[in-house]
Structure 1
Amino acid sequence: MRALFVGGVVDNSEMDLEGSQPPVHYPEDTGGGHSRYRLHQVGKTRDGTVAYAVYGAPDITDEEVSRVADERAYERRFEAEASLFEH
């Protein structure tokens, strides 16, 4: 699965994540109380496999992450359907 980042210093960056489910925060556990990117959207293929996870910077709204994800056409690119992650 691909992790896609919106906002902050790694805006528009991507990386591979291992596992079948994305972590709620990235990095998962810094232990230092630093702000982390928060999971906003999960894109699943027709067979239910997680294709991508969209993470937003700590200071970005859900609406802005959704707008940018739509603009970047992640659903089309990964042939997956996005759903908002419920915290």
Structure 2
Amino acid sequence: MTRALFVGGTVDNAELDLDVHGRQPPMHYPENSGGGRPRYRLHHVGLRDGEVAYAVYGAPEMADADIVRISDERDYPRRFSAEPQSVELGTRLH
């Protein structure tokens, strides 16, 4: 099970479980909103033993630096014993 963590927007600091079964989490949440509203975008994941332990979704209006800063403040890597990795670049964040 992968834990989805939300930064910014109306559901800031909310969490939920994603049932992705070894796949990459969806790039947007909700995945198919159909409402025409901006969706949360996948910013980075935390890898533990080659599996995605958590996925950080940022509000559409947030800058990448703010998402990283807030994630660091919330200490997701320590909490999930995982290494943060950029989704776009496939590289470690720190």
Q: TM-score, normalised by structure 1?
A: 0.94
Counterpart for residue 51 of structure 2: 49
Q: Which has the higher contact order (CA 8 A, sep 6+)?
A: 1
Q: Gapped runs of 5+ residues in structure 2?
A: 90-94
Counterpart for residue 60 of structure 2: 58
* % identity of equivalent residues: 62
Across the aligned residues of Structure 1 and Structure 2, the Cα RMSD in angstroms comes to 1.1
Q: CA deviation at 1:32?
A: 2.4
| 2:70 equivalent to 1:73 | no
Q: TM-score, normalised by structure 2?
A: 0.88
Residue-pair matches, total: 86
| 2:25 equivalent to 1:22 | yes
Q: Gapped runs of 5+ residues in structure 1?
A: none
Map 1:28-43 to 2 at 5 A. 28-43=31-46
